[in-house]
Amino acid sequence: MTPSGLTPPTLQKPRTLSARRFILLATTIAGLGAAIVVAPSLAPNSFSPAYAQNLTAQAQKVQAPVGFADIVEKVKPAVISVRVKVDSGPQNMALGGEDGIPPGLQEFFRRFGAPDGGPNPNGPRGRGPGPGPGGRNFTTGQGSGFFISADGFAVTNNHVVDKAESVQVTTDDGKILTAKVIGTDPKTDLALIKVEGSNFPYVKLGERAPRIGDWVLAVGNPFGLGGTVTAGIVSARGRDIGAGAYDDFIQIDAPVNKGNSGGPTFDTEGNVIGVNTAIFSPSGGSVGIAFAIPSDTVKTVIAQLKDKGSVTRGWIGVQIQPVTPEIADSLGLKKTDGALVAEPQAGSPAAKAGIESGDVIMSVDGKPVKDARDLAKRIGAMAPNTSVKLGVLHKGSEKTLSLTLGELPNTREARASADEREAPGSDIGKLGLTLAPAGRVAGSGSDGVVVTEVDPSGVAAEHGFKTGDVIFEVGGKGVTTPAEVRKQLAEARSGGKRTVLMRVKSGEATRFVALPLGRA
């Protein structure tokens, strides 16, 4: 009896096969394999010496173990370990502190992306022993990278070298070299560095996007253990993990850990298909979910960094958000394709071309736009001053607008909003809002209706409404009083609408929210 008074279950020991049984089993398996190969031998002349020799060759080929040694031997010399020293200011903080990490990736990089070193005699987690000369504090860390040309250009992550006082690389044959940061791009978390010299082994960025299920190899410097190779498959493509407007990650299950940041992922032909940048892990170690920046993005960004040390992107100047099923229903759309314009920025190319709030951008130069993220990525990949034609759905009518792209300012992004908190299919009654005319609430301006209170159990709270939000439109019509809001809600219900679309300003951002009309 156990202390709890319960009888423990009987545990069964794993069965152990005797040597004889193991051999028999192996022979049976081999026999089955031979049966598969030898079956065609019933054909005429099947026992000729030439035919028998051919069968032997086929059997050897089938039974030969599959490995990646040839690929590794080819690509591994081009992969480098990257070690940096960062002046962390008056306080010693983790490498690449949050100022150097895209906001959406801070949680990932606390576990993986800001490699804080491996074995280090100066202290735990790659940190130095404390303040250096003059009271300055330094943090050291390790990442990975790879040469892309024989003259010493190499790719790594921005968060690996961001704010680095010095950068050193260790080659596969153990040479330690000083590197210079040529340029960085925080929006895609890529960086280009260079070491002096020539005849460096290098690898090429892949021309073909991998397929889900393809074998891949990750090579890097996990936990300071340089030259580590792991294998897996492509688990998914086009992943958006909330890092920014240009998310388009390849998800792989090859084990990668702290220190793999900036390292390459290869296909079975030895081409780089992605740059490892983040993992998701409750434990801090690999659980088979890693994310790599696709090679086509790397090509575009690195070419600009090499040419001018920075990246410029096209800009149309709109706040956009996804077309959810509820929003599509409110607009009378059959599909959720396209990007909904929450608000065009004053003086932007979009505003000058006549794009208005509530428009849905459906195509760019004749090619359909899948969603808001697709639009942001495609516009961002174009050069400023490029002329484009946008297919726009405006108040139920399709039209084509021509505009010239501006240059994306450092403080702005053509970003897809990540603030969607819709509850598809919900049938909730009360909106749970208390409203007042904007003109009666100090600091709220003169337009719209201000939310003065939000019922935490109401549908509006579930859709992200907060005290201080300003509602400009309900059902496509401007509102200035709570009575006008009630009127538009009533008209939407009487018209058979299941949802009502509101244009709302929250803080400095404007967005559309589709609220379910459960009951009056």
Q: How many domains does the chain have?
A: 3
- Decide if 511 is inside a domain: yes
| Tally of CB atoms within 10 A around 77 | 18
* 88 or 4: which leads in pLDDT: 88
Highest averaged pLDDT of the listed ranges 197-206, 316-325, 374-383, 482-491: 197-206
- Decide if 357 is inside a domain: yes
- Decide if 252 is inside a domain: yes
Helix, strand, coil percent content, the chain, rounded in steps of 5: 25, 30, 45
| 91 pLDDT above the threshold of 50 | no
Model confidence over 272-291: pLDDT tens digits? 999 999 887 666 677 788 99
Model confidence over 328-338: pLDDT tens digits? 888 888 888 99
| 203 pLDDT above the threshold of 90 | yes
Q: Which residues contact 478 (CB under 8 A, 6 or more apart)?
A: 447, 448, 472
What average pLDDT is seen over the chain? 76
Of these residues, 81, 88, 144, 159, which one is catalytic? 159
- The whole-number average pLDDT for the span 41-63 is 60
Report the CATH number that the domain containing residue 320 is assigned in CATH. Answer: 2.30.42.10
pTM recorded for the entire structure? 0.61
Task: Please check whether residues 146 and 284 belong to one and the same domain.
Answer: yes
Of these residues, 116, 162, 185, 189, which one is catalytic? 189
- Decide if 28 is inside a domain: no
Strand partners, 145: 80
pLDDT of residue 392: 93
Task: Please check whether residues 330 and 397 belong to one and the same domain.
Answer: yes
Task: Please check whether residues 468 and 389 belong to one and the same domain.
Answer: no
- Decide if 19 is inside a domain: no
Task: Please check whether residues 307 and 438 belong to one and the same domain.
Answer: no
Task: Please check whether residues 290 and 330 belong to one and the same domain.
Answer: no
Contact between 62 and 33 (Cβ < 8 Å): yes
Contact between 293 and 329 (Cβ < 8 Å): no
pLDDT of residue 126: 37
DSSP 126: G
Length of the chain in terms of residues written:
520
159 part of the active site: yes
Task: Please check whether residues 323 and 261 belong to one and the same domain.
Answer: no
Model confidence over 228-252: pLDDT tens digits? 999 999 999 988 776 666 778 999 9
**pLDDT class for 430, splitting at 50, 70, 90?**
low
Taking CA 310 as the corner, what is the angle to CA 309 and CA 314, rounded to the nearest 5 degrees?
A: 150
Task: Please check whether residues 204 and 333 belong to one and the same domain.
Answer: no
Task: Please check whether residues 278 and 198 belong to one and the same domain.
Answer: yes
Report the CATH number that the domain containing residue 169 is assigned in CATH. Answer: 2.40.10.120
- Decide if 336 is inside a domain: yes
Rg from Cα positions in the chain: 30
* 238 or 101: which leads in pLDDT: 238
Of these residues, 88, 235, 261, 295, which one is catalytic? 261
Residue at which a domain ends, from 295, 311, 327: 311
| Domain around 483 | 433-516
| 506 pLDDT above the threshold of 70 | yes
Residue at which a domain ends, from 311, 335, 354: 311
Task: Please check whether residues 369 and 447 belong to one and the same domain.
Answer: no
Contact between 306 and 254 (Cβ < 8 Å): no
Task: Please check whether residues 291 and 339 belong to one and the same domain.
Answer: no
Long-range interactions of 89-96: CB distance < 8 A, separation 24+:
89/136, 89/137, 90/135, 90/137, 91/137, 92/127, 92/128, 92/130, 92/137, 92/139, 93/139, 94/125, 94/139, 95/126, 95/139, 95/140, 95/141, 96/141, 96/159, 96/160, 96/162, 96/163
Model confidence over 120-168: pLDDT tens digits? 333 333 334 444 555 556 677 889 999 999 999 999 999 999 888 899 9
Task: Please check whether residues 329 and 361 belong to one and the same domain.
Answer: yes
DSSP 505: E
- Decide if 93 is inside a domain: yes
- Decide if 422 is inside a domain: no
SS (H, E, C) 186-231: CCCCEEEEEECCCCCCCCCECCCCCCCCCEEEEEECHHHCCCEEEE
C-alpha–C-alpha distance, residues 95 and 84, integer Å:
9
What is the distance, to the nearest Å, from the Cα of residue 47 to the centroid of all Cα atoms in its chain?
58
